[in-house]
Amino acid sequence: MSVALCVYNGERWLPAQLDSLLAQQDVALEIIIVDDCSTDRSREILRWYARRDARIQVHENKFNLGHLRSFEKCMAMCTSPLIAPCDQDDIWHPRKLAILADAIGNADMAYCDSAYIDEAGRPLNRCISDDLGPMHAGHDALRYAFQNTASGHAMLVRRRVFDNARPFPEKLYHDWWLALCAASGNGVAYVDQPLVQFRRHDDAASPLGKDANGKPQPTPPGARSRNRKWLEQLSYMMQAIGDTNWSVAAQARDWHEALRTGLECNFRGLMKLTWRDRASVPPWNGGFAWLRAVRFYARFRRKANRARREPKLTTPLFGG
């Protein structure tokens, strides 16, 4: 089994994470690490661990590639049929990989819940599932298009899924794209256990749970364009899926066209698709599928009307 760990200025967190990786039980392990031009002591720490454990391979980028391309490079160097992406600042349960390997079955991906901890490693008594609501599983890729619940640090994915997902879309999170690819294939399995201690701090790459410790969060720079951003994110996602050969590609192309015309005040296409795919659209918190479809359609119309009055985006489409 392969772990793909990307590092950038992670000296504060690396020893705890590396110790938790080396403590994984009942799995044959290789740990592939890419350092993306760290300027702190990260490389020194990585080399120290690599000298002491042959399971660790460290590769150092000559130029900063950024989060997305570093993960793509790191996962490409993995040799196992099963790959676990890994962040530098978390702590894994000793049986995380073994449990996910047991759970994956015939699916293309398995993932677990994660429990938030603060900078010092203290529990925040909250999990990702508390924030995201129903955690998706199965073969409905459209659900992942509307909301991803599979975080990269919590997943175990088949190498063939990674190969089929390349190249990663330029603007999209790598874990979101992998989850979409897996759901479009043999599906996704979910383990309802928090097998990762997911550290929240100001420099964390993911925005998930950053307010879990009760600290006031600054207003995002793009808050004035939040409806426009939601619509443009969804449109970008559907267009990217539509350009693949995945099973959901035709549906995604339909959605991309309906989103485009919806922003021009023509909602007929969206009405038809919302009804056709009523089992896939949010919200997923119970109730009749037809009622959820009505609620989603009404929500979209509100967002589209607001988006037309909002300024153009000045922040990255995903993140920022």
Question: Is residue 165 within 8 Å of residue 179, measured between CB atoms?
Answer: no
pLDDT by residue for the chain (320 residues), tens only, comes to 999 999 999 999 999 999 999 999 999 999 999 999 999 999 999 999 999 999 999 999 999 999 999 999 999 999 999 999 999 999 999 999 999 999 999 999 999 999 999 999 999 999 999 999 899 999 999 999 999 999 999 999 999 999 999 999 998 999 999 999 999 999 999 999 999 999 987 766 665 655 555 555 555 555 788 999 999 999 999 999 999 999 999 999 999 999 989 888 899 999 999 999 999 999 888 788 899 999 999 999 999 999 988 998 888 888 75
Q: Whole-angstrom Cα distance, residue 193 to residue 176? A: 20
Before 311, cis peptide (omega within 30)? no
Q: For the beta carbon of residue 249, count every other beta carbon within 10 angstroms.
A: 17
Neighbours of 134 (CB within 10 A): 15
Asked whether the bond before 169 is cis by omega within 30 degrees of 0, the reply is: no
With 0.85 as the threshold, say if the pTM is over it.
Answer: yes
User: Which residues are CB-contacts of 245 (< 8 A; sequence separation ≥ 6)?
Assistant: none
Quick one: which H or E segment has residue 158?
strand 155-158
d(CA 117, CA 221): 26
Type of residue at 108:
D
